[in-house]
Amino acid sequence: MNVISTHIGQPVSRIDGVAKVTGQAKYAAEPHPPGMLHGVVVNSPITRGRIETIHDAEARQVPGVIEIMTHLNRPHAALFEKSYMDGLGIPGAPYRPLHDGEIHFNGQPVAVVLAETFEAAREAAMLVRVDYERWPHNADFEVALHQKYMPSKTRSNYVPPKPRGDAAAAYALSAVKTEGRYHLAPEHHNPMEMHATTVIMEDDGTFTVWDKTQGPQAVQAYLASALSLSKDQVRVRNPYVGGAFGSGLRAVYNVFLATLAAKMLKRAVRVTLTRPQMFTHAFRPEAVMDIALGASRDGTLQSMIVKGVTDTSRFEHNMENIVIWGLINYRCPNATADYKVAPRDTYTSSDMRAPGAATGVNLLEMAIDEMAYACGMDPLAFRLHNYSDIDAMHDMPLTSKALRDAMAQGAQHFGWHDRSMIPGSMRDGRELVGWGMATGIWDAMFSPTSARARLGQDGRLHIATAASDIGTGTYTILAQTAAEAFGMPLHRIDIELGDSALPECPTEGGSWTAASAGAAVWLACHSLRTKLFAALARCENAPSWARQDSVKLEGGALHGMNENAQDSLSLSDALSLTGQDVLEAEETAKPGLRGKISQMRKARFTHSAVFCEVRVDPELGTVRVTRLVNAVAAGRIMNPKTAASQIRGAMVMATGMALHEDSLMDERVGRFMNHNFAEYHIPAHADIPDMDVLFVNEHDDEVSPLGVKGVGEIGMCGTAAAIANAIFHATGRRERNLPITPGA
């Protein structure tokens, strides 16, 4: 049987685009079940302490208020901490909303006002007064650094590997040395859609939960465990998600509170978070990295010493993989890494787009640029000189690495070789012009994923998996995969995502969905095709040519392959001949080549080379990014249009990291104070230039069954560093803190 390859790799527009721009797409805060109550969360204004008294009598007098739920009157929920563990598996004691009167962080929910209208709930929430016993707290990262530690229990991949060589001795003997502390400010996820949950109490007593999440099955498992329910009692739906960037990897407190309230009142409940409340849960951790590099006079790296610290809450030990990236990517005989976490009284820091790498790669690439100048070498030439064809830290071969090609193609497209080496030597009028570059690296991950393919009497192909589409184009690339695997036109394919009742799929994050869900869909479609042909082969009233191996499936129909035959059969007719109304197949894709785990003995990464031009006003200190070029090596590109969109989106976020985004903590009260778009600066249209994305040809038949590497995170890795390095080239002033602002 043959399949014509016409869909994968094509720049298909998003198949869900019309639904989104016309308002047909339904998000978590949009279902309107009858009798629905609106919930507004009351947050703690203190950072540590205990609730003494809740004064809610005045709030209860507001017309339309039905109930005010607190830790004193809530219905039963699980008592033990392990029942609140989620899919991320962060060690420690997970936060239990409304568990008791103890306050662990500023902004912690202390009550939920439930009313017939949102306006009544909001008014009453402002009337709830709480007396607290206040305890000492620390929200100062600099103070927390003195309490840094390595958790006794943590995920093994976050523990730095054994050193190679003797980095300290090699550093002492190096002819050229650089060392410094590099700092990244904390950042908050700010997707367009804020977190919201609508819980519908069904007639049979089960709960249908519409939630803004990146993993409906993870939320289902969390709610079932935390509320002492069976999984059959909870169905979580998120067919459309208005961005997440990692904020939806964990179950946010609104989903627990909304479901708990629905359980309490036996009514539908909606709880939505405000933009300021979006600053009361997950955020990218603040980080410092102490980096010491040693090299010989010809620019050969001899020593790499990287020590990193990120912040976490007091009650959980969140860790990220921040210190290892440069040690993997560069050839150096002596390298060591150390990593600790620093506790402070906040909510637990958590994954944000390219977690760990967005911090570690960008800060390390700023240090690499510094070393290149110390050696008197062009930054691109320095990186090529120290290029590693293997995972240098673990001494492992790679499934593929086309970073050298990415650097060459990116440099040519950018015009890098016209660059003046001397900082401050390039001008345009009164503005200083700087050109900088950096490389990026991110894991090319693959997770076991299941998908179902079903052919109905209408001749349409229905694909289902519990994957989420958080704006990445998952609907579209899965449709393209199915179209190619089954020989079906795109317009006759239906994709169903975002439902915990669908075949198992891990939470969308880490850039694994395209490879994992894509492979599952491919396998399911091939299995369905095999079933169809087997059924036809057994069908005596089917045309003889349709019962032969020499048949092709193309354009949603079966065609004879004989030279003179013009025979064809629609899929609807073919299914009718088999006597079945529906034919379906479900398959699970697993890591490794053709499902074998043996290939895990090779390291797998996505790589990039980023080139940037900035213009700096020497009097005002303002920076304009005027050009960005990102050359990406990511295996097989499923859809260059949606993939390039993902890279550009990450580059916009990285521009925010480099120049804008900084969650400002008032240590006295333990609160992030700039919790709105007026004061938390994200890049606007005027801040972003045209961005060129180049995809480097990279064949890799080992990284995943379809040769696909994800692209959702790689645009974050190296872009902020390229901007910082361009600012140095423009000004001659080396900045080691991100974001770089005019007052820095």
pTM of this structure: 0.96
Q: Max alpha carbon distance in the chain (Å)?
A: 89
The answer to whether the bond into 160 is cis (omega within 30° of 0) is no
Catalytic (active-site) positions: 713
| Angle, vertex CA 66, rays to CA 63 and CA 70, nearest 5 | 125
Q: Which residues pair with 401 in a beta bridge?
A: none
CA–CA gap between residue 63 and residue 65 (Å, rounded): 6
The answer to whether the bond into 151 is cis (omega within 30° of 0) is no
What's the pLDDT at 31?
A: 96
CA–CA gap between residue 180 and residue 373 (Å, rounded): 15
Which residue ranges of the chain lie beneath pLDDT 50? 1-4, 593-599
Please, what sign has the CA dihedral across residues 641, 642, 647, 650?
positive
What's the pLDDT at 593?
A: 47
Q: Are strands 301-312 and 335-343 parallel, antiparallel or unpaired?
A: parallel
User: Nearest Cα to 253, choosing from 498, 128, 84?
Assistant: 84
The label of the residue with tokens 């014509």 reads 4
What's the pLDDT at 563?
A: 55
Contact 453, 520 (CB under 8 A): no
Average pLDDT score, the chain: 94
What's the pLDDT at 152?
A: 84
Contact 250, 204 (CB under 8 A): no
CA–CA gap between residue 249 and residue 349 (Å, rounded): 12
CA–CA gap between residue 252 and residue 191 (Å, rounded): 14
Contact 130, 41 (CB under 8 A): no
What's the pLDDT at 114?
A: 98
The label of the residue with tokens 């909304």 reads 258
What's the pLDDT at 677?
A: 94
What's the pLDDT at 600?
A: 58
What's the pLDDT at 599?
A: 47
Distance from the first to the final alpha carbon of the chain? 64
What's the pLDDT at 1?
A: 33
Q: Which residues, other chains included, contact 131 with Cβ-Cβ below 8 Å and sequence gap of 6+?
A: 51, 52, 53, 54, 55
